[in-house]
Amino acid sequence: MPYFDQWGWHTETVIEGRYTDVPAPTDIPEGHAANWTGHKWLVVPYFAPPTPVAPEPEPLVATRRQVKLALLQIGLLDTVEAAVEASGDRPMQISYADALEFDRNDPFVVSLGQALGKTDEEMDAVWSLARTL
């Protein structure tokens, strides 16, 4: 028993109430598909819809105050500040000292997290907490 989807395209998936006793065509050329009109099967050109592109993830941004309060709350503020100071990395030091907000995916943040041995999940948790403060 051939089945068809909500647009009439032949499918191997069993869909309750979407079938016919009329046999579906078997000799279908490439680039074509069988479509049920309600009375008969038509073999017509078929182009699969384009695969949707996943949207860019929303930036995980928190203010400087929020991030520092989150780090203080979980006991990492002194560790982070010492690591930034000890890094000798002037761009990192400037970013930490002068940024108004921190993006979780910023290369500075990612490299600092890695330098501290933090996993992505741990870093995400800091930002989740920070955004609530």
C-beta of residue 73 within 8 angstroms of C-beta of residue 127: no
Contacts of 114-119 spanning 24+ positions with Cβ under 8 A = 115/83, 115/87, 116/76, 116/79, 116/80, 116/83
- Counting Cα atoms < 13 Å in the Cβ hemisphere of 34 gives 19
Whether this prediction's pTM lies above 0.85 is answered by no
* Residues 54-81 pLDDT 10s: 887 777 899 999 999 999 999 999 999 9
Can you give the pLDDT of all 133 residues of the chain as single tens digits?
Answer: 899 999 899 999 999 999 999 999 999 999 999 999 999 999 999 887 777 888 877 778 999 999 999 999 999 999 999 999 998 989 889 999 999 999 999 988 998 899 889 999 999 999 999 999 9
Q: DSSP E strands: which ranges in 21-113?
A: 32-36, 41-45, 61-63, 101-103
Q: What is the CA radius of gyration of the chain?
A: 28
- Please report the pLDDT score of residue 115 as a whole number: 86
C-beta of residue 101 within 8 angstroms of C-beta of residue 127: no
Domain boundaries, the chain: 1-47, 61-130
